[in-house]
C-alpha cells in the first residue's frame, strides 16, 4: 500500500496555500491583499509567508464575524 501523506499543521502559508485557505484564486487573493482586505505577508529571509491566524481574522471581518456555531471560531 502507498504511504499516507503526513498532514502537518502550519502557521505560515505560502501564497498559493493562503489563497486556497481563504477559498479564492491566486489572482483574487493578490487583489484582496493589494486592496487591504487581507493582510500583507511576512518576509523572513527569502521566504514569504501569510500568518494563518491573521488570514482567518481577516475573513471573519469580510464575512461579518465568526459564526457562533463554528467549533473552530
Please give the pLDDT value at position 64: 87
Average pLDDT value for residue range 4-18: 88
Please give the pLDDT value at position 69: 59
Sign of CA dihedral 31, 34, 37, 40: positive
CA pair distance 47, 25, nearest whole angstrom: 21
Asked if pLDDT for residue 1 goes beyond 70, the answer is no
Please write the tens of the pLDDT for every residue from 15-70. 999 999 999 999 999 999 999 999 999 999 999 999 999 999 999 999 887 666 56
Amino acid at each position: 500500500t502507498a504511504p499516507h501523506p503526513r498532514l502537518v499543521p502550519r502557521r505560515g502559508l505560502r501564497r498559493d496555500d493562503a489563497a486556497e485557505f481563504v477559498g479564492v484564486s491566486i489572482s483574487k487573493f493578490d487583489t484582496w491583499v493589494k486592496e487591504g482586505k487581507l493582510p500583507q505577508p511576512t518576509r523572513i529571509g527569502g521566504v514569504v509567508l501569510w500568518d494563518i491566524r491573521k488570514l482567518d481574522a481577516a475573513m471573519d471581518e469580510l464575512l461579518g464575524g465568526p459564526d457562533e456555531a463554528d467549533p473552530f471560531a
